Homo-oligomer: A and B are copies of this chain.
């Protein structure tokens, strides 16, 4: 059973003071005599008093908690984001409540409800793959609770956003391939209904255009997972043995491709240079180590939560929403190293 927890009342009783005096002494109110303050604070320490945040929240109509909704915590990208969020939030005296949608709409709606019930002071959201209705997020707006979308943003709701520039990332990747001498560059892409997929394809195309390399639609393949790579890589390279560069929409696809190329007797990077996108820790572990576009999850987290605090702690509900675009950077490793 939970024991009785120490309250200001207990301190007041022991010191024969009123609760209001204790409350003020605890927060260094100027009205309170220094001797009284000393006494109260010492007693609080001695009794291991911890303020009851629920009482405080009820009184102040402020929970000092922010909510986070993400698809899955077990993805390196999302856990990095959370890490960034928590570091900033705890420094500013806020707690963080993390909810996983597990990529389902229903669960996401429940998450939103839970955060609403907890009266969070703000929310950070990266939407699930299966979310097409956004009413559960509008509830936050209606209640005046600030919301910031990051990475997988919600196109229909105008609010603060933090995204990375996929187009630029892809451009950097393909430009790098061109500069090290690749002439025939293929793009293993994700389905084009995803915004990130569109951006990355666009960057690929722009790089080719800028360096006067003809664009061939046959060189864009829907192949965005380890499984698809296992299936599609060999047939493709049989038909197009001249390909000497590959830009994959994510790291796991890139790594799988490298493993298959290796079995085909093609050397990476000598015969085919490979660039991925994402930079989880896997890129370092792959053999050869994978050149990739760094996604900066931690930074996305810190930026997003900073936006949120701007809104939370600003009294006027100014509607000047911002979108922070984080520019990804190219991390060169062995999969594109040619002397």
A316–B100 Cα distance when bound, in Å, is 33
A143 touches B2 (CB 8 A): yes
Q: Do B86 and A100 have beta carbons less than 8 Å apart?
A: yes
Contact of A97 among B74, B79, B96 (CB under 8 A): B96
Pick the contact of A142 from B3, B74, B97 — CB < 8 Å?
Answer: B3
Kindly list chain B residues whose C-beta atoms are within 8 Å of the C-beta of A95: 97, 114, 118
Residues of B near A252 (CB, < 8 A) are: 281, 285
Contact with B along A61-96 (1 / 0, CB 8 A): 111000000001110100110110010001000011
Count of this chain's copies in the oligomeric assembly: 2
A234 within 8 Å of B (CB atoms): no
B74 touching A5, Cβ below 8 Å: no
**Is A210 in contact with chain B by the CB < 8 A criterion?**
no
Given the complex of chains A and B, what is the CA–CA distance between A72 and B87 in angstroms? 11
Interfacial residues of chain A within 24-66, with CB under 8 A of chain B in the complex: 48, 50-55, 57-58, 61-63
Chain B residues lying within 8 Å of A121, measured Cβ to Cβ, are 2
| Nearest CB on B from A66, distance (A) | 12
Q: How large is the interface on A (under 10, 10 to 19, 20 to 34, 35 or more residues)?
A: 35 or more
Contact B83 A52 (CB under 8 A): no
Asked whether A139 is an interface residue with its Cβ less than 8 Å from the other chain, the reply is yes
Rounded to whole angstroms, the CA-CA distance of A98 and B50 in the bound complex is 19
For A286, what are the chain B residues with a Cβ–Cβ distance below 8 Å?
Answer: 285, 287
Task: For the complex, give the distance between the alpha carbons of A76 and B286 in Å.
Answer: 17
> Nearest residue in B to A63 (C-beta to C-beta)?
B54
A21 at the interface (CB under 8 A from B): no
Contact in complex: B100, A83 (CB < 8 Å): yes
Cα distance A316–B286 when bound, in Å?
53
List the B residue with the shortest CB-CB distance to A52. Answer: B119
- In the assembled complex, the CB of A249 is this many whole angstroms from the nearest CB of chain B, namely 17
Query: Can you list 22 contacts pairing A with B, beta carbon distance less than 8 Å?
Result: A2-B143, A2-B144, A2-B145, A5-B119, A50-B116, A50-B117, A52-B119, A54-B54, A54-B119, A55-B58, A73-B82, A74-B76, A83-B100, A86-B99, A90-B110, A95-B114, A96-B97, A97-B97, A259-B285, A262-B287, A285-B285, A285-B286
